[in-house]
Structure 1
Amino acid sequence: MIRFGIIGTNWITDQFIEAAREVEGFALAAVYSRTEERAKEFAAKHGIPLTFTDLEEMAASTEVDAVYIASPTSFHEVQAVACMRAGKHVLCEKPAASNSHELQAMIDAARENEVVFLEAMKSSFLPGFQAVMDALPSLGTIRRYTASYCQYSSRYDAYRRGEILNAFKPEFSNGALMDLGVYCIYPLIMLFGAPESVMASGTLLSTGVDGQGSIIARYKEMEATVTYSKISNSSVPAEIQGEEGTMTIDSINLPRKINIRYRDGRVEEISAPEEGAVMSYETRAFLDLIANGKRESDLNSHANSLAVMSLLDEARRQQGIVFPADMKTNSG
């Protein structure tokens, strides 16, 4: 059994715990929160035996083998590095860090301490994405990738009333690109590697984070277009266009219904729904890495995470999106 400590007491963590309990080898041991009241409340809700309000104490605990981090992105590096230096494996929510400098520090800590570090981009491990990867060669030479993730945020209603919640605060390294755009970019990098050039534009809110945006990524033989938003909705599916056929994916963040339309008129369905909770797949992959003595995933590899983060950095640079975490990096 791998005994988990939890950092982050929100709805994402609730979903993770529910899903992870489906996976053999998962055990829930501890939760960390900045306040004792919140730690005890969350522990009682999920039947967690240990609570901590000191991160270093949880990292040092002999009752904890691994840590799941779902705190705001701006806290990921400090929390992950502290846990890995104490010998804990880390499963960290996407995006894994605020910028490439932070992510590299996390990867370095994992390698130096010989522990697993995995970015929890859940879609990579789903059967639907595996079906996409398996069927990609049947499309012939790929010419275009389009993906969209536009989901109106319930917290935007508060923003419009003048109340700024964490989802729109740059000090937490948030915004549409980091929260939603990354779901479009991660599969792009996994399938086609890093682009040769990027053009990005977006709508900045008064707080300095983006409400929506778009990216055009150019490759030698293809082009990719990504759109994302937290201030409007879209139901447009993703497409991968090849010279021999076009693949349609219902949702790039949760690929379930997938069809290929070939030039000769044939239509092939390659849908692959999940068996069990969505987040159970990433948990199983994480536990398998530990069990097999591997330090990183072949799918959500350190190199893929770095390539994604590099693209995010460049897109933010072009749009003028600056996080306090970037200033810390620039000052050393």
Structure 2
Amino acid sequence: MRWVLIGASTIAAQYMIPALRAHGGEIITVVSGSWGRGADFAVKHGITRPGTDVQEAVSDADVDAVYISTTNEKHLPQALAAIAAGKHVLCEKPLAMSVADAASMVRAAEQKGVVFATNHHLRCSGSHRAVRQLVRDGRIGRVLSLRLHHAVHLPANLQGWRINSPAEGGGVIPDITVHDADVARFLLDEDPKSVVAQMTSSGLGQGVEDSAMSVWAMPSGTMVMSHESFTHPFAGSGLEVHGTEGSIFARNVMTQNPIGEIELVTAAGRERVGYEPYDLYGEAVRCFHEAAAGRGEPAATGWDGVKSLAVALAVREAAATGARVDVHYGDVK
């Protein structure tokens, strides 16, 4: 499959380019808002054609698919341009700045008959899939609660707009809470119905929140506690799923790399749970290529991206108002 990269981003450089090439993808063009940045990126990563014109790049007849990793406010017009040109699209989260805009992208892709996917990498990890299987197999009985610990330290090279630009979609909620929303949906197979939350700026945020805590109510009665931050260098990450017959402790698994440990605790004792430590982004690309070939769905669909955004926006509204907020999914499938 032949790809255009829209965004000369760190995630493209560190994760997506190796994943695309490992699964037979050929990168035709990289588009950047800065010609110099795009040209330097192209040379560094062996891409022959840098550019600054999105429309020109997505109109190329040699291109099959587009990967979008620009700042959040640009996703909507860039995705719609690619879809209109008949290209499959893999878009970074959050898909857009509003649920309505995100849903419009997915509907446009459906009408055009192209694949549209969200790059939610965590559901592609062997660790998260192992936890999900334990839950589905009833190993911990009825699920009572899920705790998500995703408080990290944002590296200096990634700070920029993420800590100071509301207009570009900055803040820890659109950056990390949206991932945790997808994790909860993936592990529990249900959608949060309401949230309560608080947010603050605890050292990095300049006009946006850099830390948030929230509690989500699920239709089944399961409670979800979620903690995200840009300011915690030593907290580690992980998740815990607690049920009537046992608990699952997954440590250091809220990461872009295939690391971490899983332990199942029941009346029978403690059990180390193994999993396949494959590349998360490689798995996302593999599933996307299969979907584009008409074999199944991508790992995270466009509608998955719409729903995770809806939860994140509800968390931000709840934190801003101090009130419980229902999650509004619109007419999402």
What is the TM-score when the length of structure 2 is the normalising length? 0.87
Give the deviation of 1:97 after TM superposition: 1.9
Q: Determine the C-alpha separation between the residues in 2 that align with 1:64 and 1:39.
A: 18
1:82-231, aligned counterparts within 5 Å? 82-136=81-135, 137-155=138-156, 165-168=160-163, 169-192=165-188, 193-204=190-201, 207-219=206-218, 220-231=220-231
Deviations 1:144-176 (A, max 9, x none): 100111112234998xxxxxx312211110211
Q: Distance in 2 between matches of 1:61 and 1:87?
A: 10
Task: For residue 308 of structure 1, give the secondary structure of its aligned residue in structure 2.
Answer: helix
After TM superposition, give the deviation of residue 256 of structure 1 in Å. 3.6
Secondary structure (helix, strand or coil) at the match of 1:198 reads strand
Are the equivalent residues in 1 in contact too, given 2:151–2:237 (CA < 8 A)? no
**Match status 1:72 vs 2:71:** yes
Q: Which residue of structure 1 lines up, in the alignment, with residue 308 of structure 2?
A: 308
SS where residue 292 of structure 1 aligns? coil
Q: Deviations over 1:176-223 (max 9, x none)?
A: 111122232211012331223210111047743111011101134221
1:288 matched residue in structure 2: 290
Q: 1:161 corresponds to which residue?
A: none
The CA deviation at 1:301 is 3.0
Query: For residues 125 and 235 of structure 1, what CA distance do their matches in structure 2 show?
Result: 20
Measure how far apart 1:247 and its partner are.
0.4
Output one character per residue of 1:6-55: Cα deviation in whole Å (capped at 9) or x when no partner: 011122111210222211x3111111112322222111111112222111
Corresponding position of 2:232:
232
Q: Deviations over 1:59-78 (max 9, x none)?
A: 11112110111111111111
**1:274 — aligned with what?**
277
- Residue 264 of structure 2 is aligned to residue 257 of structure 1: no
* Partner residue in 1 for 2:22: 22
- Alpha-carbon separation, structure 2, partners of 1:250 and 1:53: 41
More deviation, 230-239/133-142: 230-239
Distance 2:301 2:63 in 1: 24
Question: Residues of 1 paired with 2:157 and 2:208: CA distance?
Answer: 12
CA deviations over 1:101-136 (Å, ceiling 9, x no partner): 121111011111111111001111222222112111
How far is the alpha carbon of 1:302 from its aligned partner?
Answer: 3.5
Mark the runs of 5 or more structure 2 residues left unpaired by the alignment.
322-333
Deviation at 1:252, TM superposition (A): 4.3
Contact kept? 1:7, 1:69, Cα under 8 Å: yes
Is contact 2:178–2:311 with CA below 8 Å preserved after alignment? no
CA deviation after TM superposition for structure 1 residue 316, in Å = 1.4
**Partner residue, 2:59:** 60
Q: Is the 8 A contact 1:77 1:102 kept in 2?
A: yes
Amino acid at match of 2:194: S
Give 1:38's aligned residue.
37
- Deviation (angstroms), 1:273: 4.0
The one-letter amino acid paired with 2:70 is S
1:58 CA drift (Å): 0.6
State how far apart, in whole Å, the 2-side matches of 1:122 and 1:13 are: 13
Amino acid at match of 2:193: E
Give the whole-Å Cα distance in 1 for the aligned partners of 2:31 and 2:238. 38
Unmatched segments (≥5 aa) in structure 1: 159-164, 322-332
Q: Distance in 2 between matches of 1:320 and 1:7?
A: 33
Contact map agreement 2:130 2:275 (CA 8 A) in 1: yes
Taking structure 1 as the reference length, the TM-score comes to 0.87
Distance 2:128 2:187 in 1: 10
Q: Secondary structure at the match of 2:139?
A: helix
